[in-house]
Amino acid sequence: MKLFMQRSDVGDFRRRYNFMVLGIVIAFALLTARLAQLQIAQAESHQAQARRNVVGRVTLATTRGVIRDAQGRVLAANRPSYDIYVVPALLDFEQTWPKLTQWMGLSAPRAKELAAKVREIQGREGKRRLQQMLLEVDVSRDVVAALETHAAELPGVDVVPTPVRYYPYGEVASHLLGYMREIDAETLAQHEGQSYRAGDRLGAVGVERRWESYLRGQRGWQKVVRGANRHAQRTGMAERFLDDPRRLEPIPGRDISLTIDVELEKAITREMRSQLAGAVVVVDVRTGRVLAAVSKPAFDPNVLSGEQGKAAIREAFERLSRDPLKPLLDKTTSAVYPPGSTYKPFSALAALSEGLIEPTTKVDCKGGYEFGRRFFRCTAVHRKVDLYDAIVQSCNTYFYALGELIHIDQLAKLGMDFGFGVKTGLGINPEARGRMPTRAWYARRYRGDGFRGGFTLLSAIGQGATAVTVMQLALSYAALANDGTLYQPQVVRSIETSSGTTVQDFPPRVRRIIDVDPAQLALVKQALRGVVAEPKGTAFAEALPGVDMAGKTGTAQVGHVSPRSVDPKREWYFNRDHAWFAGYAPAKSPEIAIVVLVEHGGGGGKNAAPIAMRVVDAWQKLGKRRLTAHNGGEPRKDGTSL
């Protein structure tokens, strides 16, 4: 009866139980099927993903090569820049943030701006919150010290040193060395998949740019096991997931030794102090090695490389590109100028080699030369001058007469033999070719007709369409000095590994042995000596005792221009002549050739020659000091060991 009661009471539920059990079976079968899919069918891909989650590669930074001068003095090196990073998920805005901003010395608006940035990322879900976020670059050592002292109170804040480029000599040789810039999107796209990444810095101009691939070095990497955040790690488990190779060592960039002497560069900079703009090049006449190359005004590569932050870079570039004196231009190779009278030795050689003039033939200078309907002026009334006098006293009339005898193509041919009108192959900064005008050039320029004989006269005194770079002129004078060997100029002497082993050594390279008659060359060189040594010489007044020098002054007229960027009140400056001095020393057995250009400096004898003299003097003193240093150095302590 009890049993019956029970049945009748629970009866209508009864038939549901089978369905319920069926439901349970179906539900668990569904779960099991899905588990089988995940854990058996797709197991491999999930296992791979799990390993990808924990195994990562950290980049091992490399260091950029150091640039040194010929004496091993460091011209460009690396120093650490201390950058501040925060992990948004770990940053406490109540406790940490006020302390951090105080120790960083942030202004209130800047702190607010940064706080907004951090909070924005903090508000997101997912991994970004756990990654380091760059807060500030290159903070001062005081800030670093403060943050390190209080590191325990600043969870989620990290100070990370990254190397930045440092140029100890500042503006000295800045055009030659160059500076660093952040990689732009276009360059990055070109180097897709290679060693460059967004935010990388690369050489912008000069040696830094040209030798970028050597200086740069190669990043390494190391496989690491890491959790979703830094605190979820279990030690000991890590080893299991690292497959070989675990590490690729970074390769430091190559060091580069230059041919320049930074002390000479400094001396030149010192001697150019009173001039606004110009360029000086000193080369070794026996090798074509560049001992100094100065372009003025210069820039501070430290600022342009970001030493004072990005705002300072922008500001510096704005200022530099607005400057009418063009500080960013490398005036030793990238700009061309009319050589003026410094070109006369080459005109003389051209006429001599063609047999058009006799050295002893005299021309009567009455203060100018009548040609056609024009009167070509001379600087003075020199009366009767032969070739020697004409060079020593820089008589234009003589060379106008020479210009009437010679064909312009003959002038150009000899000029090109001496390297004018052709790139020198220095290859550091974009190089200007210069110009040796020929009939063909004039024909192109003036559409067929229009060549006048007067053009040849102007070419003969280094005016007209003739244009040269300071580097070209220096090498051509070196060729005069070494009796006809034209060298390719050389700035990089050798490449070394960071440990000091020489990887590559660059010997001097001869471009051409110029076919020139030694007797004729000797005549010209004698005249160049006379420029400095003869009382009538244009540079005699500037000669220094103990400086044995030969050379030629030049005063190159500039076309009347009014550059748009120039204040009309200062326009007079830009219409003043360029002052030149080109020469070599010592005159008897030449070692160096030097060219000094003072832009809009006026007369070459008065303004460029004294600089050249003093630079040569400085060079001699440097040489003596080096010699005594070598001899007076500590004797070798053979037999003693450490």
CB of 25 to another protein, least distance (A): 7
Q: Are 361 and 384 in contact (CB under 8 A)?
A: no
288 to 335, 340, 479: CA distances (angstroms): 20, 23, 9
- Which pair of tokens denotes residue 178? 């160059």
Q: Are 436 and 420 in contact (CB under 8 A)?
A: yes
Is the CB of 231 or the CB of 588 nearer to another protein? 231
Specify the stretch interacting with another protein by CB under 8 A; choose among 223-231, 339-347, 464-472, 624-632: 223-231
Spatial separation of the C-alpha atoms in residues 463 and 16, rounded to whole Å = 114
CA trace torsion 630, 632, 636, 642 (10° rounding): -100
CB of 128 to another protein, least distance (A): 7
Interface with another protein (CB under 8 A), residue from 79, 110, 127, 536:
127
Spatial separation of the C-alpha atoms in residues 496 and 494, rounded to whole Å = 7
**Is 42 a residue that touches another protein (CB under 8 A)?**
yes
Q: C-alpha angle with apex 458: 457 to 459, nearest 5 degrees?
A: 90
Spatial separation of the C-alpha atoms in residues 216 and 78, rounded to whole Å = 12
CB of 89 to another protein, least distance (A): 12
Spatial separation of the C-alpha atoms in residues 616 and 268, rounded to whole Å = 9
Specify the stretch interacting with another protein by CB under 8 A; choose among 42-50, 297-305, 318-326, 376-384: 42-50
Interface with another protein (CB under 8 A), residue from 4, 17, 448, 640:
17
User: Helix count (H) and strand count (E) of the chain?
Assistant: 24, 23
Which three-class secondary structure state does DSSP give residue 314?
helix
Is the CB of 22 or the CB of 440 nearer to another protein? 22
CB of 150 to another protein, least distance (A): 19
Using the 8-state DSSP alphabet, how is residue 484 labeled? Answer: S
Q: Is 166 exposed, middle or buried (0-12, 13-18, 19+ CB in 10 A)?
A: middle
The number of residues that bind another protein (CB under 8 A) is 53
Per-residue binding string, another protein, 51-80, x by CB under 8 A, is: x-xx--------------------------
**Is 28 a residue that touches another protein (CB under 8 A)?**
yes
**Is 10 a residue that touches another protein (CB under 8 A)?**
yes
Closest CA to 550 of 345, 382, 340, 397: 345
**Is 45 a residue that touches another protein (CB under 8 A)?**
yes
**Is 11 a residue that touches another protein (CB under 8 A)?**
yes
CB of 239 to another protein, least distance (A): 12
**Is 1 a residue that touches another protein (CB under 8 A)?**
no
Is the CB of 25 or the CB of 405 nearer to another protein? 25
Spell out the alpha helix ranges (H) of 95-140: 96-104, 108-122
CB of 238 to another protein, least distance (A): 9
CB of 12 to another protein, least distance (A): 4
**Is 16 a residue that touches another protein (CB under 8 A)?**
yes
**Is 36 a residue that touches another protein (CB under 8 A)?**
yes
Interface with another protein (CB under 8 A), residue from 219, 226, 511, 606:
226
Is the CB of 35 or the CB of 380 nearer to another protein? 35
Spatial separation of the C-alpha atoms in residues 515 and 385, rounded to whole Å = 27
Applying the rule CB under 8 A, the residues between 582 and 611 that interact with another protein are none
Using the 8-state DSSP alphabet, how is residue 162 labeled? Answer: E
Specify the stretch interacting with another protein by CB under 8 A; choose among 11-19, 305-313, 335-343, 511-519: 11-19
- Which pair of tokens denotes residue 507? 């010997």
CB of 126 to another protein, least distance (A): 3
Query: What is the gyration radius of the CA atoms in the chain, in angstroms?
Result: 37
**Is 50 a residue that touches another protein (CB under 8 A)?**
yes
Is the CB of 13 or the CB of 572 nearer to another protein? 13
Applying the rule CB under 8 A, the residues between 228 and 247 that interact with another protein are 228-229, 231-235, 237, 241
CA trace torsion 471, 476, 480, 484 (10° rounding): 130
**Non-local CB neighbours of 436 within 8 Å, separated by 6+ positions:** 411, 412, 415, 416, 420, 421, 466
Containing H/E element for 222? Answer: strand 220-225
Is the CB of 231 or the CB of 560 nearer to another protein? 231
**Is 151 a residue that touches another protein (CB under 8 A)?**
no
Spatial separation of the C-alpha atoms in residues 255 and 167, rounded to whole Å = 14
Q: Which stretches of the chain bind another protein, using CB under 8 A?
A: 6, 9-17, 19-21, 24-25, 27-28, 30-32, 34-36, 38-40, 42-43, 45-47, 49-51, 53-54, 124-128, 225-229, 231-235, 237, 241
